């Protein structure tokens, strides 16, 4: 049994990860701002120690010292977004932990020259989020290989699960897209709908963490994609969702610059952010080295999340 500190354990992935860690007999400490409850209730949470810390309200050094003071054997950091957050935490934990697992993102790749992209393919990050995460990896992984600091990295795709809106076939998060499809109405997609998105169920992100912990020697100093077995292009995704709701697809296509005129600035920006990257990634390395086998396809993960939205009245679907 290990004492495991999960930083940001009340979020999407923690909803599945924390109960799984408890079930394996670990002593779990959830560090959060105390503002969010897990997306799914589970009796395991009664056995979890909760520590309230607002990372953004503290200096990075003070936060690192507070985490080290919890005397963890393992730290899983779900919410580090800048190297200035990760570096002091690593230094505070150096020589004191058995394992440090960092949550990165597939956005470190930027656009891919070849698909599916592997962990060895070059990074072309753009935008603050992907660039900052790539900077963390560029420091953390070489440090782990050079010094033996026990740090693997996992790179989730578009995280999906019941309780929040999944990335939709228009490559944004507007739930009206699903409602429109549910009513059998026409949906217009940008360009020819051939750009890709790559979902992953939150349970499978939790799985890749558990696999890395169970196969420690194979994971240290390595990065692993945490995605479903296959990406979807927008057209195929939309067609599948029409059939999910019992309709034949009704799609139209417009060049992106024309298409965006019918959407809010936020939705249009989100779509551009996703189609400009068009992620599609391989899980072969995770499967071969640490036994990561995603349980959910992109479509099955989305369908589960959409059913939950319908049940919650957040997507209006004809009876």
Does residue 290 belong to any structural domain of this protein? no
The CATH number of the domain holding residue 104 is 3.40.50.720
- Residue 147, helix vs strand vs coil: helix
116 and 208: one domain?
yes
Which has the closest alpha carbon to 156: 233, 53, 225, 80?
A: 225
187 and 121: one domain?
no
181 and 101: one domain?
no
pLDDT per residue as tens digits for the range 148-173: 999 999 999 999 999 999 999 999 99
pLDDT per residue as tens digits for the range 243-265: 999 999 999 999 999 999 989 99
305 and 177: one domain?
yes
E strand or H helix at 37? none
Does residue 222 belong to any structural domain of this protein? yes
What integer pLDDT is reported at residue 170 of this predicted model? 98
**Whether 107 contacts 36, CB under 8 Å:** no
**Residue 40 banded pLDDT, cuts 50, 70, 90:** confident
Contacts of residue 56, Cβ cutoff 8 Å, sequence gap at least 6: none
Domain that holds residue 250: 161-198+230-279+297-311
pLDDT at 37 over 90: no
What is the sign of the dihedral through the CA atoms of 114, 118, 119 and 125?
Answer: positive
82 and 47: one domain?
yes
Query: DSSP string spanning 202-268?
Result: HHHHHHHHHHHHHTHHHHTT-EEEE--SS-EEHHHHHHHHHHHTT----EEEE-HHHHGGGS-HHHH
Does residue 103 belong to any structural domain of this protein? yes
Does residue 291 belong to any structural domain of this protein? no
φ, ψ for residue 3 (rounded to 5)? -95, 115
**Residue 35 banded pLDDT, cuts 50, 70, 90:** low
Report the number of distinct structural domains present in the chain: 2
pLDDT at 282 over 90: yes
Report the mean per-residue pLDDT for the chain: 96
143 and 177: one domain?
no
85 and 192: one domain?
no
**Whether 89 contacts 19, CB under 8 Å:** no
**Residue 205 banded pLDDT, cuts 50, 70, 90:** very high
259 and 126: one domain?
no
Q: Is this model's pTM higher than 0.85 or not?
A: yes
What integer pLDDT is reported at residue 201 of this predicted model? 98
**Residue 126 banded pLDDT, cuts 50, 70, 90:** very high
Specify the length of the chain in residues. 319
What is the sign of the dihedral through the CA atoms of 235, 238, 243 and 248?
Answer: negative
The CATH number of the domain holding residue 193 is 3.90.25
103 and 235: one domain?
no
Does residue 26 belong to any structural domain of this protein? yes
Does residue 191 belong to any structural domain of this protein? yes
Does residue 192 belong to any structural domain of this protein? yes
pLDDT at 116 over 80: yes
Distance CA 135, CA 108 (A): 9
Does residue 319 belong to any structural domain of this protein? no
Mean pLDDT across 134-144: 98
What integer pLDDT is reported at residue 317 of this predicted model? 78
What integer pLDDT is reported at residue 319 of this predicted model? 66
pLDDT at 298 over 70: yes
176 and 140: one domain?
no
271 and 125: one domain?
no
133 and 251: one domain?
no
């Amino acid at each position: 049994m290990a004492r495991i500190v999960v930083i940001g354990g009340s979020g999407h992935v923690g909803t599945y990860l924390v109960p799984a860690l408890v079930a394996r007999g670990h002593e779990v400490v959830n560090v959060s701002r105390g503002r969010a409850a897990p997306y799914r209730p589970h009796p395991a949470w009664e056995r979890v120690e909760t520590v309230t810390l607002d990372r953004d309200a503290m200096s990075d050094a003070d936060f690192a010292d507070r985490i080290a003071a919890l005397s963890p054997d393992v730290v899983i950091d779900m919410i580090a977004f800048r190297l200035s957050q990760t570096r002091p935490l690593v230094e505070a934990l150096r020589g004191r932990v058995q394992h440090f697992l960092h949550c990165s993102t597939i956005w470190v790749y930027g656009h891919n020259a070849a698909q599916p992209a592997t962990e060895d393919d070059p990074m072309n990050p753009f935008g603050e989020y992907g660039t900052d995460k790539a900077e963390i990896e560029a420091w953390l992984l070489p440090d782990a290989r050079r010094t033996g600091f026990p740090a693997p990295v996992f790179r989730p795709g578009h995280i999906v699960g019941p309780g929040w809106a999944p990335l939709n076939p228009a490559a944004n998060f507007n739930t009206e897209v699903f409602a429109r499809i549910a009513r059998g109405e026409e949906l217009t997609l940008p360009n020819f709908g051939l750009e890709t998105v790559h979902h992953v169920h939150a349970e499978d992100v939790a799985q890749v963490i558990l696999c890395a912990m169970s196969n420690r020697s194979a994971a240290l100093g390595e990065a692993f994609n945490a995605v479903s077995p296959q990406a979807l292009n927008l057209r195929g995704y939309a067609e599948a969702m029409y059939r999910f709701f019992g309709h034949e697809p009704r799609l139209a296509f417009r060049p992106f610059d024309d298409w965006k005129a019918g959407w809010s600035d936020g939705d249009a920006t989100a779509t551009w952010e996703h189609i400009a990257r068009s992620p599609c990634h391989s899980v072969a390395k995770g499967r071969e080295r640490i036994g990561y086998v995603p349980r959910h396809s992109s479509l099955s993960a989305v369908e589960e999340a959409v059913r939950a939205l319908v049940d919650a009245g957040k997507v209006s679907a004809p009876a």
